[in-house]
Amino acid sequence: MHAPHHTTAPGDKLSVFQKFIYGLGGLANNMLGTATGSLMIALNLGLGMDPAKIGLLGAIPRIFDAIIDPVMGYISDHTRTRWGRRRPYIFFGSIFSGIAYTLLWAFPANASMTFVFWYFLLGSIVFYAAYTVWVAPWVALGYELTPDYHERTRVMGYSTFIGQTAFLLTPWFLWFMQLKTFGNIMRGATWLAFSISLVVLVCCMLCAVFLRERFAAGMEKLDQQAAQLAHKKPAGLTAVVSDFFKGFWISLKFRPFLKLSATAFLVFNGYMLVASFTLYVWIYYVCGGDKELGGRIAGVAGSVSGIAGFIVVIVVTKLGTSLGKRRAFITCTLVAVVGYISKFFLFTPANPWLSVIPGVLIAFGFGSMFPLVGSMIADVCDYDELQTHERREGMYGAIFWWVIKVGMAAALALSGVLLNFTGFDVALPTQSGGTILFMRLLDAGVPAAASLLAIWLISTFEITEEKAYEVRAELERRRKA
């Protein structure tokens, strides 16, 4: 017998306008996330910088970014102002990150390569610090916009849908930077960075002005309850640092959250580990070494799967509010598994364009992860408050993305090693049959196996729809008392 399906109460619903505004934050986040990698190609094409140095410029600031994420999450959780815990950081952080991002690409035209390297390295660290100041509170704000189990899925669906627009714009960045109007690609990169900064600024300002924090008015009471529970009130730098690590450890080991983080790690990085293999399979197997045809098919497949992503988010959000988050995630991820496995059969020299189809099915994997897992993290925050009397949306959101970022860095580092292990040799016009077969098996098998493990984890996730409403009822009873 199935548990009863709950209907969202009118008071728990956000207006379409509010969900759209929060979604603009997703667009800003994805614009900065995807643009940084796309812009860095200008350092090679425009300045001739060594690709190995460009790799360091991409990796070192990311490591710093991953470290400060939980710190900013903690700071946001423990901020008390008349404007709330999140919105001041979203407002001012977006200004600082926009300025930092524009200046990052405004170094002197005749600067030496050594100057550019250090300027870009230090500037990137400053930029990522400013970026984290607004993005960690923005993520946390999404978890607390509504207390309703199903409305949370709709909020995350809007954010994912609107944020998807960035992935359609990114492929055009190189074309934009090379417009004759700018004179050279580096000047084009400067103007592109400035344009992106304006978009981010507008989106974040709207979030800071029009969104409201549900817990802003009641944090003092929660602080008192938490202090009484701990029999002391933290004071001084040493106590704050101790409290940070205590909160970090509590969040990291909280079993429901650990399952969600591991799920996202598997789905996202199982794909990233062999993402580059797909292009090689297209070129050397499907197209028989024809790089031009392989690139054309890759471009069409990317556009088709990108467009499919918009439709998938709508479908996933509907499934999440009708079947429940767990069932919807399992259903959609199984579709993605079918897509991965189908690559082994539809990537065929007999009909190269059949290889476009798997990407549409695979889109269900990513399309379900961010709306559904993001909504589940909001449920985790309630469950955590029930046990600890604290709200840790910032910490949970920061650790979640920290896990993804660290995993992505590891996946990108290991992908090259794995490619060499297949016997691939870029100097050869064609690859051996054994190498191609090995690449095809890894390309289809690794993300499929990782997704199946993710399905198993989600099937054991404790916070069902019924459980979530029970937790909410108990929290509301406690707050009234």
Buried b (16+ CB within 10 A) or exposed e, 361-383: bbbbbbbbbbbbbbbbbbbbbbb
* pLDDT > 80? residue 228: no
Measured between alpha carbons, how far is 56 from 60 in angstroms, rounded to an integer?
6
**Helices within 6-112 (DSSP H only):** 16-39, 41-45, 51-77, 87-104
| Angle in degrees, CA 180, 183, 188, rounded to 5 | 85
Q: What pLDDT was estimated at residue 230?
A: 52
Q: For the residues 10-30, what does the mean pLDDT come to?
A: 94
The answer to whether residues 79 and 89 touch, using CB atoms and an 8 Å cutoff, is yes
Distances (CA, A) of 274 to 14, 143, 414, 466: 39, 32, 9, 38
> Based on the domain organization, do 203 and 63 belong to the same domain?
yes
> Based on the domain organization, do 425 and 288 belong to the same domain?
yes
The pTM (predicted TM-score) of the whole model is 0.84
> Based on the domain organization, do 351 and 401 belong to the same domain?
yes
The answer to whether residues 435 and 420 touch, using CB atoms and an 8 Å cutoff, is no
Q: What pLDDT was estimated at residue 315?
A: 93
Residue 182, amino acid: F
What distance lies between CA 216 and its chain's CA centroid?
26
> Based on the domain organization, do 329 and 444 belong to the same domain?
yes
Measured between alpha carbons, how far is 16 from 154 in angstroms, rounded to an integer?
10
> Based on the domain organization, do 170 and 66 belong to the same domain?
yes
> Based on the domain organization, do 197 and 278 belong to the same domain?
no
> Domain limits at 481?
254-481
Q: What's the domain count of the chain?
A: 2
> Based on the domain organization, do 267 and 338 belong to the same domain?
yes
Q: Which structure tokens are listed for 262?
A: 């591991």
Which of the residue ranges 13-22, 220-229, 290-299, 425-434 would you say has the lowest mean pLDDT?
Answer: 220-229
Q: What is the pLDDT of residues 107-134, one digit of tens each?
A: 887 888 889 899 989 999 999 999 999 9
> Based on the domain organization, do 199 and 319 belong to the same domain?
no
> Based on the domain organization, do 280 and 424 belong to the same domain?
yes
Which of 215, 240, 270 is the endpoint of a domain?
215
What distance lies between CA 389 and its chain's CA centroid?
28
* pLDDT > 70? residue 163: yes
User: Is residue 237 in some structural domain?
Assistant: no
Q: For the residues 377-397, what does the mean pLDDT come to?
A: 92
User: Is residue 139 in some structural domain?
Assistant: yes
Which of 185, 215, 245 is the endpoint of a domain?
215
Q: For the residues 466-472, what does the mean pLDDT come to?
A: 93
Closest CA to 49 of 121, 106, 122: 121
> Based on the domain organization, do 261 and 141 belong to the same domain?
no
Q: What pLDDT was estimated at residue 418?
A: 80
Q: What is the pLDDT of residues 324-369, one digit of tens each?
A: 899 999 999 999 999 999 999 999 999 989 999 999 999 998 888 8
The answer to whether residues 469 and 149 touch, using CB atoms and an 8 Å cutoff, is yes
Measured between alpha carbons, how far is 167 from 310 in angstroms, rounded to an integer?
11
> Based on the domain organization, do 308 and 412 belong to the same domain?
yes
Measured between alpha carbons, how far is 252 from 371 in angstroms, rounded to an integer?
21
* pLDDT > 50? residue 1: no
> Based on the domain organization, do 150 and 282 belong to the same domain?
no
Q: Which structure tokens are listed for 312?
A: 């998938």
User: Is residue 228 in some structural domain?
Assistant: no
User: Is residue 221 in some structural domain?
Assistant: no
CATH of the domain at 104: 1.20.1250.20
